[in-house]
Structures are given as C-alpha cells and as structure tokens.
Amino acid sequence: MVKADLKGRIIEFSKSHNKNNPSELTYGLIEISGVRLIGSIVGKGIEANSSVLLRRCGLTESKNAFYEFLMDIKENRK
C-alpha cells in the first residue's frame, strides 16, 4: 500500500454564484504530488498557490467522485 500525500496547492479557483443555492461555494484545481484534482475548497483567504489539505473524498450515492479541501492555515501564514 502506498501512503498518499494529503497536502497540495491551489492552481486555479472560482466561486459558484448559483441563484438557487444561497451559499457561495468555492471550487478549485488542486495539485497533490503531481496529480491534479477538482474539488471544493473550505476556508478563508483562498488564493492561487495557497496550500490546502485533502479533508474528505469519496463517492456520492450516484457514484460520482468528490474531493473537499481545507485551507492549510499554518502553511499559508509563513
């Protein structure tokens, strides 16, 4: 078994402005160990090249993959 790195960096991001959903969601392209994933980003101060941690991932009931990233506050304060 190979242990995966959970720390990555934001390459690009965008905020969702869905009129039917009042909560504003941020999605981004994240690179972890050379692998690029698209997922939601939770936290404040979201910027390109900021450090993130993989918080959750899995499959929805309809078998769609999802990834959720959390801003790495400790790393981004440096």
pLDDT at 2: 65
DSSP lists the bridge partners of residue 70 as 42, 53
Q: Are strands 35-42 and 26-32 parallel, antiparallel or unpaired?
A: antiparallel
- The structural domain count of the chain equals 1
Q: Is residue 11 part of a domain?
A: yes
Q: Are strands 7-15 and 26-32 parallel, antiparallel or unpaired?
A: antiparallel
Q: Is residue 32 part of a domain?
A: yes
Question: 20-31: per-residue pLDDT in tens?
Answer: 766 678 999 999
User: Structure pTM?
Assistant: 0.83
Mean pLDDT of 60-70: 95
Q: Is residue 75 part of a domain?
A: no
Q: Is residue 55 part of a domain?
A: yes
Mean model confidence pLDDT for the chain: 89
Q: Is residue 1 part of a domain?
A: no
Structural domain span for residue 38 = 7-66
Q: Does 1 score more than 90 pLDDT?
A: no
Q: Is residue 23 part of a domain?
A: yes
Q: Does 52 score more than 80 pLDDT?
A: yes
